[in-house]
Structures are given as structure tokens and as C-alpha cells.
């Protein structure tokens, strides 16, 4: 380990001298990279109107969103959990990709034409990367447009873009409503599996659950083989995603951070671009987004 530090950290210190908003330096390294890994979080979708459901403001009605995003909450009251996710699905399905999503999709096309690898690893579940045109997207925490059967003998994972997902939620989901003012929804009226007709749940990795092993393997391969890593709109506090960028930096490879914070999340990162991702990212990637 001391030998590793001797060779790696001097390189990182050199990069640190040119880290803040060095668009030209970043673009040069990005365009020379054969394998690009991108890690995105809630901040990349904030400009599209997707609420951040973590932190002090993460409430839906009187419920903390994190309290609803658990298998225990779903077992106790699947109707209220499904209504919360109906609300989230409605927002996501009606949202439009912003310039950050579009820039990533355009740069992926460029990489494909040039025989380069480009992978997005996202903590988001809104599907806006795909809506913008991105193809190689690894969804760490699941997706709002997917459901999973709760029948242990079935476990079908299926895409579902119905809005509302079932008639019981038509006109429901308003966060300003009070739960006790709304008609009770029976379990039999909740979304069911098209194959075995058992209750389905949102295909979301809830608190206390493990990430899908195959998805983790794919994400790990992208991180381990990348020449550069872009960290966009994430606080880098949610594991295991939080360990990805530091691991890249520890290998002496450049990490570029794009978020609203004026200070970088780590002094090990080579580049830091503070400000709205929809503004900084297209400029850094050299992508002209037509209005």
C-alpha cells in the first residue's frame, strides 16, 4: 500500500491544480478515453422537476418517504405505499429530460460511432436517461416503470407504463391530501401480476434490501475498466455507489464531479464543475443542445 500511494497520489496532486471548471482540460481527457463511466444521482433529474426524496424535505403527506420505501411498510400497508409510488410514477412519466440527460445521450452516440465504451450507472429510478436516448444504462436502485410479482414462485419482473397503474389510484396521490379523508383501497384492487395475478410491488430497491447481484457485477465491471469517471448530481453518500468514484481516483484515473456544491466531494477528484448540471455538463462534453 505505501508503494501504491507513492505513485498514485503525486499524479492526483498534479490534477488537483487544475480541477475547478477546467473545461478544456476535461474535454481533452474525456475525448481520449476509451472507456467512460458515468455515475448519476438525484441532482441530474432535479432540473426536470423530479423531487429529491431524501433529507429534511423528503415528505409525502405526513409520511417520510424513506419510511414508505421499505419492505416492512409494504407488508403493513401496501395500499399507501403503492399510492406513494403512483404519485412518483406520475411525476416521472410526465417529466422531460433536461440538457444534462440529453448531453449524456448524445455523447454516448459519439462514443458508439468511435468504438468507445460509455456506461451510465444511475441511482435514479425515473427513466429519464432512457427517455433522452441513452442505451447503456445500469439502474442500481430499480425503475419506476417496472413491477415485481410478490409471489415467491413467480417473481416476474415486468414493464408497466400504465398511468394510473390501476383504477383504484385514478385521481389519487396528491401529497396535500390527508390519508383519513380518502376512501380505503382494498388489497384486491391493487396492481397484480399479469402472469399469476398475485400482488405486485414497485421494482425498487428499498431500504434494508440488497442490490441485484447481476446489476452490481455490471456496475463493478464498468467502474473497474473505465479510463475516466463522471459523477453527476449525487452527494456520494449512498453506498455502494459512494465507493465507486473514490476507487477510480485511488487508481490514479481522473474523476470529474458535476453538482451544485461549490466545494468538491473529495480532494482526490481531478475536476469539479459547480452549478446546474444542465448547464455545466453539455459545455464540458462539447455537446450543443438545440432548443
Cα gap 227→117, rounded to integer Å = 10
Is residue 126 marked as binding? yes
Alpha-carbon gap, residue 147 to 56, rounded angstroms: 28
* 125 is known to lie in a ligand binding site: yes
Q: Please compute, for residue 58, the number of CA atoms within 13 A of its CA located in the half-sphere on the CB side.
A: 12
3-state secondary structure 205-229: CCCCCCCCHHHHHHHHHHHHHCCEE
277 annotated as ligand-binding: yes
Sheet containing strand 200-204, edge to edge, reads 157-159, 142-149, 200-204
Q: Which three cell numbers stand for residue 63?
A: 409520511
User: Kind of pairing, strands 59-60 and 63-64?
Assistant: antiparallel
Q: Is 279 annotated as a binding residue?
A: no
Does the annotation flag 171 for ligand binding? no
Is 134 marked within a binding site? no
141 tagged catalytic: yes
Give the residues across from 269 on adjacent strands.
none
Q: How far is CA 274 from the centre of its chain?
A: 19
Q: Is 111 annotated as a binding residue?
A: no
Question: Could you count the other beta carbons within 10 Å of the beta carbon of residue 208?
Answer: 9
The reply to whether 239 sits in an annotated binding site is no
Q: Is 280 annotated as a binding residue?
A: no
36 is in an annotated binding site: no
103: left (phi over 0), alpha (psi -120 to 50) or beta: alpha
Confirm whether residue 154 is marked as ligand binding.
no
- Residue from 141, 197, 198, 272 carrying the catalytic annotation: 141
Could you list the residues known to form a binding site for NAD(+), using ranges.
123-126, 233-235, 259-261, 277
Could you list the residues known to form a binding site, using ranges.
85, 88, 123-126, 149, 196, 233-235, 259-261, 277
Could you list the residues known to form a binding site for substrate, using ranges.
85, 88
**Residues acting as catalytic residues:** 141
Amino acid at each position: 500500500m505505501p508503494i501504491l500511494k507513492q505513485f498514485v497520489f503525486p499524479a492526483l496532486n498534479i490534477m488537483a491544480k487544475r480541477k475547478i471548471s477546467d473545461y478544456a482540460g476535461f474535454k481533452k481527457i474525456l475525448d481520449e478515453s476509451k472507456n467512460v463511466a458515468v455515475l448519476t444521482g438525484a441532482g441530474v433529474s432535479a432540473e426536470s422537476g423530479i423531487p429529491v426524496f431524501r433529507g429534511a424535505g423528503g415528505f409525502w403527506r405526513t409520511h417520510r418517504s424513506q419510511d414508505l420505501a421499505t419492505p416492512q411498510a409494504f407488508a403493513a400497508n401496501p395500499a399507501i405505499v403503492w399510492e406513494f409510488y403512483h404519485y412518483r410514477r406520475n411525476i416521472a412519466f410526465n417529466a422531460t429530460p433536461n440538457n444534462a440527460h440529453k448531453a449524456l445521450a448524445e455523447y454516448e452516440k459519439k462514443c458508439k460511432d468511435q468504438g468507445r465504451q460509455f456506461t451510465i450507472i444511475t441511482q435514479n429510478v425515473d427513466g429519464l436517461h432512457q427517455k433522452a436516448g441513452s442505451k447503456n444504462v445500469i439502474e442500481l436502485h430499480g425503475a419506476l416503470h417496472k413491477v415485481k410479482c410478490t409471489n415467491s414462485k413467480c417473481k416476474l419482473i415486468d414493464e408497466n407504463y400504465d398511468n394510473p397503474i390501476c383504477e383504484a389510484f385514478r385521481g389519487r396521490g396528491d401529497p396535500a391530501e390527508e390519508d383519513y379523508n380518502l376512501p380505503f383501497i382494498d388489497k384486491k384492487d391493487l396492481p397484480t401480476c399479469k402472469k399469476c395475478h398475485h400482488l405486485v410491488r414497485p421494482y425498487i430497491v428499498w431500504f434494508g434490501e440488497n442490490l441485484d447481484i447481476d446489476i452490481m457485477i455490471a456496475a463493478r465491471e464498468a467502474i473497474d475498466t473505465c479510463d475516466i469517471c463522471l459523477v453527476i448530481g449525487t452527494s456520494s453518500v449512498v453506498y455502494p455507489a459512494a465507493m465507486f468514484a473514490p476507487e477510480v481516483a485511488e487508481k490514479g484515473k481522473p474523476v470529474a464531479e458535476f453538482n451544485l456544491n461549490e466545494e468538491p466531494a473529495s480532494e482526490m477528484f481531478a475536476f469539479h464543475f459547480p452549478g446546474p448540471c444542465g448547464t455545466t455538463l453539455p459545455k464540458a462534453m462539447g455537446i450543443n443542445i438545440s432548443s
